[in-house]
């Protein structure tokens, strides 16, 4: 199964995740989800594949989360998904899908568990070195 990343090139975590995927020898399908947002059906499928709650996928930093009052528990899953579809920046990233599963890769090294041939060592943009047992 190919590797897919829901990516925001302005996000360091997303850039590091993409670099780790490529360093592992994979060339993923890169979906810049701010330009090409997922459909409601795709968003539901991603949430189900990751086994997370809708609220767990909401991003607060740098988004209209507070302005929209999304921290209020009154919002249903359907309403929260509607907010993410209307404002894709609310979808936390990066999301990676492989044959091994799907997950929100925060921190970026979580992607290594999803790859067939993860790199043993990787230096992130900030110089932090991530090691992975081979």
Whether 57 and 12 map to the same domain: the answer is no
CB 33 within 8 A of CB 128: no
CB 95 within 8 A of CB 46: yes
Instruction: Map residue 54 onto helix, strand or coil.
Output: helix
Whether 58 and 84 map to the same domain: the answer is yes
Give catalytic residue positions: 11
Residue range 9-24, pLDDT digits in tens: 999 999 999 999 999 9
Whether 83 and 60 map to the same domain: the answer is yes
Residue range 36-90, pLDDT digits in tens: 999 999 999 999 999 999 999 999 999 999 999 999 999 999 999 999 999 999 9
Whether 68 and 29 map to the same domain: the answer is no
Domain boundary among 54, 72, 90: 90
What pLDDT score was predicted for residue 134?
63
- The CATH number covering residue 41 comes to 3.40.30.10
pTM of the model: 0.94
Whether 47 and 82 map to the same domain: the answer is yes
CB 114 within 8 A of CB 66: no
Domain carrying residue 73: 37-90
- Domain total in the chain: 2
């Amino acid at each position: 199964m190919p590797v897919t990343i829901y990516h925001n090139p302005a996000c360091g975590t997303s850039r590091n995740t993409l670099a780790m995927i490529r360093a592992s020898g994979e060339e993923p399908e890169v979906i810049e989800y701010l330009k090409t947002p997922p459909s409601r059906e795709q968003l539901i499928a991603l949430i189900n594949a990751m086994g997370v709650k809708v609220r767990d996928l909401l991003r607060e930093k740098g988004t209209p989360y507070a302005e929209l009052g999304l921290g209020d528990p009154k919002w249903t899953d359907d309403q929260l998904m509607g907010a993410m579809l209307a404002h894709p920046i609310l979808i936390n990233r990066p999301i990676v899908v492989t044959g091994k599963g799907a997950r929100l890769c925060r921190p970026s090294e979580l992607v290594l568990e999803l790859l067939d041939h993860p790199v043993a060592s990787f230096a992130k943009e900030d110089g932090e070195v991530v090691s992975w047992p081979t």
